[in-house]
Structure 1
Amino acid sequence: MLIEELDSPALKVELADGVATLTMHVPSKRNALTPELYEGLARALAALQDNDACRAVLLTGGAHFCSGGDVGGLDVSGLVMRRNMQIGQQVVRTMIGGRLPVVAAVQGAAFGAGFSLAMASDFVFADANATFCAAFGRLGLTPDYGLLWSLPQRVSMGAAREILMLCDPIPATQARALGLVDVLTEAGQVLEQARERALRLAKAPPATIATTKAVLSRVPMSLDTMLAWEADTQSLLAASADFREGCAAFAERRPAVFLGR
């Protein structure tokens, strides 16, 4: 699928230098997850997994990252709600278990399902004005889009309980202290710095990134299972052209150029 075919009014998609930038674009609702937006995210993320020109994803939203579900336009009928959940879960499943590293650049609100999207990313960059909130309990709902799995990967279980049950807004500085945010930037610099990280990831050996993400999405696991995975994976990677390039670059004291072969 062509990149142009992934672009829509609700989701802007650009691919340059190995980085696909996905910009959520529903400004009238602070990028609430309308059906058009989460269907666009699901379609784009799935298509990019099969695009060899794409090596990393940068997820952002402009003035606001994502204010959560589109409560005003929410269809709560059973079958529709379940279908919507399945599409949203596919977005998170691809972000966490797919081959591409995902960098989130958060400005403004990352509430509810928007918070879930940020936590499903491999790296979270936040502007000084960003605010995070697991707002589900305010509506009488349970956390969704994988947040009950992803949040404890970043913070202690005690902190996760407090965040999920009290539903208090968390300013960027506190989010950084808790571990919700990897890099806290000055106002107006988050997109630039997040893109620098995505560009660095795009230059890394793709198979190494993909296999690392695959196993991290399955932890915890037993030591024996982990060691068996290491033996199988390392044997395959050692036969790759990228491994030979890495060895040659090390010997020649130059940056490696990994082609994903």
Structure 2
Amino acid sequence: MNATAAPQDAVLVERLEGVIQLTLNAPKNRNSLQSPGIYEGLMAGFDALEQDSSLRAAVITGAGGAFCSGGDLRQLAAGSEDDVRTRMTRNAWLYRRIALSDKLIVAAVDGPAYGAGLGLAAACDVVVAGQSAVFCCAFARVGAMPDAALFWSLPARVGIPQARRLMLWAGEVKGSEAVSIGLADEYVAEGSALPLARQLARRIAQGPVRSFGRIKTGLRQAPMSMEQALGFQLDNAPGLFASDDFKEGAAAFFEKRAPRFGRGDE
């Protein structure tokens, strides 16, 4: 892979086989979201994902043994209420971009994912936890409350009772337990999460991206009533059945071969 750098080298960008990999690269600050260039680099990466039709999936990971430590406590403590509100208003777009993207985003979590770093991982569509991964909704430890869209993403992943425990008691959750409660989707018992995350992202990139996008949109609106579910499928499914991907998938089924999705995007 060839790597290029986002502003101030804070986010390294790699592209290969339809996947864009965004690596948080501020190891001295344990990849804090308030490190210079991190926010800008991630947003630029999402711009590329949305605007480049050859990019069909993304991976977010961290350098230097940490995924993301969340916010910078010194900066937050030094700011006024208005300062925090301004910063939080800006950062909200980061989680919106992940949730609203039609393309799937995979988090490769090695080391700590604390606070807003947990929010960054939990907002992603697929979370892969490596051997060293540690998740923590740490806000109550310092007298704060969860932000980073965690009141949306955490209950959606683990349910309200488990989210309550994670938010109130701010306990650490390691890789295998994270999978057992739904906080992560895959666990790598030995080594890094990144190889498996890349593998899954390549699988996504080679798959029916429009179908994946509609599934993502539907799940973002869950739980639905029956009428909402029927309305959603009526609004979205007919277009997929008329798509090049469906025609290719049906042809591949009858020809007993693997489908080659995405050819209509070329």
Alignment partner of 1:208 is 2:211 = yes
Letter in 2 for 1:252: E
Q: Identify the residue that residue 113 of structure 2 maps to in structure 1.
A: 110
Matches of 2:25 and 2:231, distance apart in 1: 44
- Out of 81, 84, 89, the residue aligned to residue 81 of structure 1 is 84
**Structure 2 counterpart of 1:145, from 148, 170, 174:** 148
In 2, the alpha carbon distance for the partners of 1:248 and 1:199 equals 22
Count of residue pairs brought into register by the alignment: 259
Measure the CA separation in 2 of the matches of 1:53 and 1:73. Answer: 38
Q: What letter corresponds to residue 237 of structure 2 in structure 1?
A: Q
Q: 2:161 aligns with which of 158, 163, 174?
A: 158
Q: Is the 8 A contact 1:39 1:87 kept in 2?
A: no
| In 1, Cα distance between equivalents of 2:192 and 2:110 | 10
Are the equivalent residues in 1 in contact too, given 2:103–2:213 (CA < 8 A)? yes
Match of 2:190 among 172, 187, 198: 187
Distance 1:192 1:245 in 2: 29
Mind listing any 5+ residue stretches in structure 2 that lack a counterpart?
Answer: none
Instruction: Report SS of the residue matched to 1:173.
Output: helix
TM normalised by structure 2 equals 0.91
47-56 vs 33-42, which deviates more?
Answer: 33-42
Whether the 8 Å CA contact 2:131–2:192 is kept in 1: the answer is no
Q: Distance in 2 between matches of 1:5 and 1:191?
A: 19
Equivalent pair of 1:32/1:66 in contact (CA under 8 Å): yes
Cα distance per residue 1:189-227 (max 9 Å; x no partner): 411111111110111112111111112111222211211
Alignment TM-score, normalising by the size of structure 1:
0.93
Q: Which residue identity is paired with 2:212?
A: I
Work out the CA distance in 2 between the residues paired with 1:4 and 1:183.
Answer: 28
1-structure distance, mates of 2:43, 2:79: 20
Moved segments of 4+, more than 6 Å = none
Match of 2:258, SS state, is: coil
CA distance in 2, matches of 1:5, 1:117: 20
Bigger Cα displacement from structure 2, 137-146 vs 18-27: 137-146
Equivalent residue number for residue 13 of structure 2: 13
Q: Distance in 1 between matches of 2:71 and 2:98?
A: 18
1:47 aligns with 2:66: no
Q: Which residue matches 2:71?
A: 69
Question: Could you say if the C-alpha distance between residues 55 and 96 of structure 1 is closer, same or farther in structure 2, counting changes exceeding 3 Å?
Answer: same
Report if the CA contact (8 A) 2:110-2:192 is conserved. Answer: no
Tell me if structure 2 keeps the 8 A contact 1:42–1:88: no
Distance 2:261 2:175 in 1: 35
The corresponding residue for 2:245 is: 242
- Give how far 1:8 is off: 4.5
| Cα separation, 2, equivalents of 1:136 and 1:15 | 34
- Distance, in Å, in 2 between the alignment partners of 1:257 and 1:86 is 41
Distance 1:4 1:29 in 2: 21
Q: CA RMSD in A?
A: 1.8
